Structure 1
């Protein structure tokens, strides 16, 4: 996972890679006024990404993928908040 600063101060670009390094997705993240990330958007994008990686031809485990994506989105949110906190101190 790679987090880079976007063009605007309140925007981050998130790039995720599969273990084989072949599949990749990019998500542009923004903060709202309370500093919360847009987790639903992240979760949805992650669910699509992981579904493509793990089982691109079947929707049978879509619920599991959504749940995993939500967990990952929470982790990403925490990392992004830390990123903002560290950069604010510098």
Structure 2
């Protein structure tokens, strides 16, 4: 994990990972149905399968350290413009 991440951000990542594990376990232990679990938790099946793949490959750490931020954002506002606005 990146050492520059604040303690609160780390707790948030941990909380999200625990939630994702709960969703994955719900299919196995409660519903037996991916579709029903996704409806129950309000997530897409694509998200479920993405989480499942990362969990199978890397365990809980695979769920914690993935950012949803885009790798490239060509239409982002220039930092100089943001500074001037602030």
Whether the TM-score (by the shorter chain) exceeds 0.5 is no
The structure with the largest alpha-carbon Rg is 2
Bigger share in helix: 2
Bigger share in strand: 1
Normalised to the residue count of structure 1, the TM-score between the two structures is 0.32
Normalised to the residue count of structure 2, the TM-score between the two structures is 0.33
Considering Cα pairs closer than 8 Å and 6+ residues apart, tell me whether 1 or 2 has the greater RCO: 2
